[in-house]
Amino acid sequence: MSASIQKAFFGLIAFALSCIAIELVPISMQAAYWNRCFDSTVGWINEKPDLKTWSEKAKESLAVGVCNGAVYEPKLKTQ
């Protein structure tokens, strides 16, 4: 009797862990997409001669804003 309850609990634990793993797939895909956006945006910023004087934190801050969709101006205002 005890062994069957133990097997049932192990089955429930395995089912719960597989559900959690399935739920994490879209989140990990979104994180990978955001990381690619961030890396390519920082690379683009580093290529621009006008933005080379910016600090690394300022460049990363701009990249975060771009990848999060918070940049509304079509042109960068550097002044």
Which pLDDT score, from 0 to 100, does residue 22 have? 94
Instruction: Give residue for tokens 């690379």.
Output: 43
- Which pLDDT belongs to residue 2? 74
Token pair listed for 33: 């997409």
Contact residues for 54 (Cβ-Cβ < 8 A; gap 6+): 45, 62
The amino acid sitting at 8 is A
pLDDT 10s digits, 16-72 = 999 999 999 999 999 999 999 999 999 998 888 888 888 889 889 889 988 988 766
